[in-house]
Structure 1
Amino acid sequence: MEAEAGAEAALNCRKAALREQVWDKLENQDAVLFPRPCHGRIPNCIGSAMACLHLLEVPEMREASVVKVHPSIGAAALRTALVLAGKTVLVPPYPGADFLYLQLHRDQFPNRASLEWAGDKREYLKWAKPVKLLDIPPVDIVVVATCAVAPNGTRLGKGKGYGEVEWGILTALGAVDPEATPVFTICHDLQVVESAQLNEELMEKHDLPVDAFATPSGLVRCKRIASKPSGIRWDLVGPQLEEDIGALSPPDAVSS
């Protein structure tokens, strides 16, 4: 038991060190916007709008009807573009809400001015519709947040596990298919690391890999080394995570 705990601690240290390297690089090269410093956050990087455009050109995205997008500032341009394109966008609410997602659709916004800012949290919170667990529609694409990503599909978030827990809930509901639902991410070129740095040794069973990532330079299809997980790892859900993702708490909780 002590050996397992030691191995897990060593793994987490390696992940933390890699995140720090990426955050340092972004800051040192002035590649990030507000909020700064970007350490401990999903970076809001310069060029994120261009990365979003590359992702929008992917055939799967053009054909999608429902897209789940993480709530970070750097994905605001993507959320806006998807709403303008007439797609339904699911985005997590503020921590502590008793539902999993807010639903954004162009029909909910009162005018063109609102639509132009549809992906901005300050705007969509006025018009978005809360969606209860059992009302979540089938999700065609999931866009996750990233601190670091490699061409082998391995990615690191900021280490809290929100994206993995959400994915687990969606698999339990049947809203996504681990074998078929594409998982994408957007990031800066400086967040892309060698596959040797983010290798299979750093992957845990609950970690969610990506099928492709978009940077300001273009789109990269990943040669995934790991399959996507299924179900909720309740042993990884601590009190803080349960409080932040209110849908995990009774009476709205999903069974494993």
Structure 2
Amino acid sequence: MEHKTSVRNRVFEELRKVAFPDSRFHFDFGEFITDFEGSSDATQRLIDHPFYQKAKCIFITPDNCLEELRYRALQDGKLILITTYSIKRGFWVLDPAKIDPARYLYAATLDGLEREGEPMSLIDIRDKLPELDFMVTGTGAINEEGVRFGKGHGFFDSEWGMLYRIGKITTDTPSAALVHDCQVLTETLYPEVFDTVADAIYTPTRTIEVEAPHKPTCGIVWDLLDPVMFDTIPPLQELKALEDSGDI
């Protein structure tokens, strides 16, 4: 934990030079994933990549740096699964066929997604959505082997674990991170058993492909889960109830 904190602090110091402040959290990178200078170039690299081109249904985190990607994905007719901030109000789906194109940009924002999207329980996701083709997240720090250190809350790894347990993703589902170049490290970082390593990293200046990234199959490791997360995130409570009842 001390190592992760040290890495984050070092990266955040450099990130502050290119980051855009958030209207709620200013430059508190422990509370949100920031947008940054050059993110449009990184987004275009992602959109040009075969992972995106082949995808029809994409999970995209609500990070600030991915707002343009969400907008472009709606324009491209792709179905988007997304969580609200901290997952506390759960999963939502943005269906471009059900949203006025004039409101795509608003729907791509954290405030707009709940007004324009549809809330989805895990059962809804399992039974009503197609298999997810691509998982995209922002992050705090990442190395060239795709090992991520996020804000420290473990949201993306929890999202991966929940979607894996209900059968919407597999170890073959590609995941990716969109970051600034200053967030990419050359040093060795060691993933936990539940950490999802990126298949690809998109920055304003390059696309990094990762060979044989680690994809967790453990779902949610309940003994390691922060009790506060369980108490405040309804989808985790739903998953536990489904597992306990044998419904998955």
Shorter-chain TM-score: what band?
0.7 to 0.9
Amino acid at match of 1:72: D
Matches of 1:162 and 1:254, distance apart in 2? 20
Query: How far apart are 1:59 and its partner, in Å?
Result: 1.1
Q: Which runs of 5+ in 1 are unaligned?
A: 1-11
Matches of 2:47 and 2:242, distance apart in 1? 32
Matches of 1:238 and 1:22, distance apart in 2? 25
Residue matched to 1:134: 123
Matches of 1:73 and 1:162, distance apart in 2? 15
Query: How far apart are 1:219 and its partner, in Å?
Result: 1.3
Trace 1:119-130 onto structure 2 (pairs within 5 A).
Answer: 119-130=108-119
Q: 1:14 to 1:129 in 2, by over 3 A?
A: same
Residue matched to 2:194: 206
Q: Which runs of 5+ in 2 are unaligned?
A: none
Matches of 1:38 and 1:93, distance apart in 2? 18
Structure 1 runs of 4+ with >4 Å offset: none
Trace 1:146-225 onto structure 2 (pairs within 5 A).
Answer: 146-178=139-171, 180-194=172-186, 197-199=187-189, 202-224=190-212
Trace 1:232-243 onto structure 2 (pairs within 5 A).
Answer: 232-243=220-231
Matches of 1:166 and 1:187, distance apart in 2? 19
- Alignment RMSD: 1.8
TM-score normalized by structure 1?
A: 0.85
Residue matched to 2:234: 246
Matches of 2:59 and 2:124, distance apart in 1? 14
Q: 1:254 to 1:229 in 2, by over 3 A?
A: farther
Query: How many residues are treated as equivalent by the alignment?
Result: 234
Q: Using the TM superposition, name which of 181-190 and 150-159 deviates more.
A: 150-159
Aligned-pair identity (%) = 27
**3-state SS of the aligned residue for 2:46?**
helix
Residue matched to 2:51: 60
* Preserved contact between residue 151 and residue 223 of structure 1 (Cα < 8 Å): no
Q: Using the TM superposition, name which of 36-45 and 206-215 deviates more.
A: 36-45
Residue matched to 1:33: 20
Matches of 1:216 and 1:147, distance apart in 2? 16
Matches of 2:241 and 2:38, distance apart in 1? 38
Q: 1:220 to 1:251 in 2, by over 3 A?
A: closer
Matches of 2:229 and 2:102, distance apart in 1? 35
Q: 1:105 to 1:162 in 2, by over 3 A?
A: same
